[in-house]
Amino acid sequence: MTFFYVILAAIFAVLLVNFVKGLSEPAKMKRYQNEFRKYREETLDLHATEIVSEALIEKLNTALDFDYMEKVNTEFRLKHPRDSQLKVNQAWRELKRYFILAAVFGKVEMFNSVIDELWHIMLKYRQEYDEFCQAFIGRTIQHHPHSEPVFKPEERTLFDFYYVQLFTVDSHSIQKWGKFFKHDKGLKLLRDFETLELEQLKGKYMRNPTSMQAERTFEAFTSQFKENRPMTELNGRKTYDQTDYAAPAYFTYASTDDFDSEFKDIFGNEPNTVSSGSGHVDHGGHNGSHDSSSDSSSSCSSCSSCSS
């Protein structure tokens, strides 16, 4: 008889927990919505650089409808109630940076499972997602998931090469993506951008077709690369310490092994497949050759349960 009462009490406890949870979820949603609105400016805060123009950032921010972002943000926070809105905003920043990379360049892989999860929630609302992509670059940014995490060092090196040229690299960047250039210093990419003409580079590395703003960003990327590449090798560390802009430091790092230890906080010297403490696969790849022009789309190398 006692056993019967124990079972009954356990069932009652489960029902009570679910009941309380049901009552609290609307309150949580309201709180998450209020916090999103309070800190929304931070989700829009992508600083223009010499390469990434205000025009492209404005195009991205305008394309991201407020109600759509709020809906995605609330669902993400319900799944991750321990994450503050400020922490989620860091994921928004990196996802938006990823969308800029995907708009400007050809195939760009995804290398963070948390940021990818935010992208997955966006994809659940297919009409809103397609409208966002159309407003942003006039084309859908496709998502091609792998059934399991995939090891892709070449694609990760390509991602790193784009990222450090276009954006600042701060503690949030490294926390989300891990250290850069862990597998390869990208010397082949350096040679291509040093030697090929603009139209050749567009054919090989630019997303096509894309928006006018994204194409102008690719042109600025190429132009600044050709101008700055010969002049920045000696001042890379100083520039990074003052600005968080890692491109000059990368040129130094790629040029000689003598300075490797100076950049261990930005660039990794040894391959590792899981970012310590982050709980996600932060890079991937395969042994095949890279062909940027073969597919102007974006893939998920970090997720193991994609369904989109």
Indicate if 20 and 107 belong to the same structural domain.
no
Q: Which residue has the tokens 């491109």?
A: 247
pLDDT in tens, 275-294: 322 333 232 332 333 333 33
Residue 11 clears pLDDT 60, i.e. is over it: yes
The predicted pLDDT at position 280 comes to 32
If you average pLDDT over residues 183-206, what whole number do you get?
94
Indicate if 159 and 25 belong to the same structural domain.
no
* Structure-token pair, residue 184: 């390869």
- Is 49 a domain residue? yes
Indicate if 24 and 100 belong to the same structural domain.
no
Q: Which three-class secondary structure state does DSSP give residue 95?
A: helix
- Is 215 a domain residue? yes
Q: Say what the alpha-carbon torsion angle 223, 90, 175, 254 is, to the nearest 10 degrees.
A: 0
Residue type, 231: M
The predicted pLDDT at position 24 comes to 76
pLDDT in tens, 23-56: 478 888 899 999 999 998 888 888 888 899 899 9
The predicted pLDDT at position 254 comes to 86
Contact by Cβ (8 Å): 306, 144: no
Residue with the bigger pLDDT between 258 and 142: it is 142
Indicate if 21 and 158 belong to the same structural domain.
no
Residue 148 clears pLDDT 90, i.e. is over it: no
State what percent of residues in the chain have pLDDT above 70: 76
- Give the domain extent around 21: 1-30
Round to whole Å and give the CA distance between 266 and 91: 19
State what percent of residues in the chain have pLDDT above 90: 54
Indicate if 94 and 8 belong to the same structural domain.
no
DSSP class of residue 108? E
Mean of pLDDT over the chain: 81
The predicted pLDDT at position 258 comes to 63
Indicate if 184 and 225 belong to the same structural domain.
yes
The predicted pLDDT at position 112 comes to 94
CA 197 to chain centre: 28
pLDDT in tens, 52-78: 989 999 999 999 999 999 999 999 999
The predicted pLDDT at position 285 comes to 31
If you average pLDDT over residues 103-114, what whole number do you get?
94
The predicted pLDDT at position 268 comes to 79
Round to whole Å and give the CA distance between 69 and 32: 12
Round to whole Å and give the CA distance between 213 and 99: 13
Burial classification of residue 154, based on how many CB atoms lie within 10 Å of its CB (0-12 exposed, 13-18 middle, 19 or more buried) = buried
- Is 140 a domain residue? yes
- Is 272 a domain residue? yes
Residue 308 clears pLDDT 70, i.e. is over it: no
- Is 308 a domain residue? no
Residue with the bigger pLDDT between 193 and 280: it is 193
Indicate if 216 and 255 belong to the same structural domain.
yes
DSSP string, 173-240: HHHHH-SB-SS---HHHHHHHHHS-HHHHHHHHB-SS--HHHHHHHHHHHHHHHHHTTT-GGGHHHHH
The domain tally of the chain equals: 2
The predicted pLDDT at position 269 comes to 66
Round to whole Å and give the CA distance between 148 and 154: 18
Round to whole Å and give the CA distance between 48 and 33: 28
306: confidence class by pLDDT, cuts 50, 70, 90:
very low
Indicate if 19 and 116 belong to the same structural domain.
no
- Is 249 a domain residue? yes
- Is 23 a domain residue? yes
pLDDT in tens, 196-246: 999 999 999 999 999 999 999 999 999 988 877 766 556 778 888 888 988
If you average pLDDT over residues 105-119, what whole number do you get?
95
Contact by Cβ (8 Å): 155, 172: no
